[in-house]
Structure 1
């Protein structure tokens, strides 16, 4: 671990204690403690196979811990009824599979099931929640179409709409920008931020793009090899040393020209002889004075 890292926040509604997660004989996460900050947007980042999606699955009770526990309001998830969990925690997994032949409208409406009672299958509240979720995600015009006929990006927006219709206090999103072009990625992340700011939703998301994570997160968690390497406000923990430690990538961290937060720019390319592509260029990697603008969108 490099440098001084901010410590975890205090006790929260959703937490993990001494959590060990495994697939058969392969341990992915071991002895992990975590407190998800209430009312904040938390983003988990890290290299492939570091355990970030596995951790999110455990937080949503899709994966049973090998040891330790996930706690909701101080009670182990394993001890809570499934319906109770679904009323509080909404989860969008990485690769959800829709029922064959289901329409967009019917799939989004399924987000309301945890809130329905046996004597009242549909209510005005359900209708309002579904309509609002469709409007927010731009899926209203797709309502009558079968989900299996949609493009990848359209499907992703439909799944997000279902998660929003569930109307939970806690929302877990595993790579919600998958299959989306850059414009729709920004739309989705702006929506997540809006839900947090206007309605106080606690959000935990796994993202691959570190710069998007740094821009949208209130609390950033960097994972590597099944452990939390650093966590805290992006401006406090995102450094070139952290990027090297977690991703094995040389980089420069500069102020984001829009937000003023940290922005990671990958380091200079290397030629076959091992020299830096910027070594001969004034202000390049050798001079260290400026960062080539062409790299701004590379991460």
Structure 2
């Protein structure tokens, strides 16, 4: 199956399932080249499942993911590894591996049988450690790190892979708010300075609005809305996708949209008692 596509990476009539449970059905999606696409939606709506399929970690039940107009399943694994970098949710490191060795594994798709390690590999690993502020952790075992440190190391490995397309599933998991912003700023810099196409799944809707060029809102395995955040994010969309009443105001920093949840729960006023 091969067809021309408006973007390098796309999904057509995609149905994804785990055994007998269908998670995504009949989904079509074009990933805009050179942009940051962020997928949002409630838990268990199919966000991570979609990302796994885009990265060839999950085989479609029906339909196809296309890269440059060709089915993803038709590419050699090493070619995919040089083109698409994937950071899955909660990856598990090999026992006892150090930070430097884990990040170096991102270079495997670029290595040739006659040259296992090059100056380009060395440079890519050093830059990835530097960009994620993990160079000081290089000699430490990954399994001794905090959750936040470990997450930054996995991101460093994905950066060291140096791919044109980068897929990130919840890259801000385990990170405090300062490190969340740091990671998302890094994603934005990679996009603007290196021209990387990024697809990320995020939980935080306001972070997604701030960093996305293209926002995809999912519910129950389907796309409810997609497009520029300022066009897509409305009180109706927030209600439909998240079941949340909200007010949308201008973001005081960016001038974009900021979603403020509606009234929080308050106890009912106590009934007045009257003396008889």
TM-score by length of 1: 0.87
Pairwise CA distance, 1:269 = 1.7
Which residue of structure 2 aligns with residue 246 of structure 1?
A: 241
1:135 — aligned with what? 130
Q: Deviations over 1:230-275 (max 9, x none)?
A: 000000110111000000000001110000111000000233549x
Q: Which of 12, 22, 25 matches 1:27?
A: 22
**Paired residue secondary structure (1:271):** coil
CA distance in 1, matches of 2:150, 2:165: 22
Matched length: 265
Partner of 2:95: 100
- Choose the corresponding residue for 2:149, options 149, 154, 176: 154
Match among 41, 50, 53 for residue 46 of structure 1: 41
Structure 1 residue 82 corresponds to structure 2 residue 102: no
Aligned to 2:187: 192
Aligned with 2:203: secondary structure?
Answer: coil
Helix, strand or coil: the match of 1:27? strand
Report the equivalent of 1:223.
218
Secondary structure at 1:17 match in 2: strand
- Structure 1 Cα separation of the partners of residues 264 and 111 of structure 2: 56
Task: Give the Cα separation in 2 of the matches to 1:178 and 1:260.
Answer: 26
Q: Deviations over 1:11-49 (max 9, x none)?
A: 100000000000111100000000000000000000000
| RMSD of Structure 2 on Structure 1 (CA) | 1.0
1: CA distance, partners of 2:265 / 2:148: 35
SS at match of 1:135: helix
**2:176 matches 1:210:** no
* Runs of 4 or more consecutive aligned structure 1 residues displaced over 2 Å after TM superposition: 270-274
The reply on whether 1:257 has 2:252 as its aligned counterpart is: yes
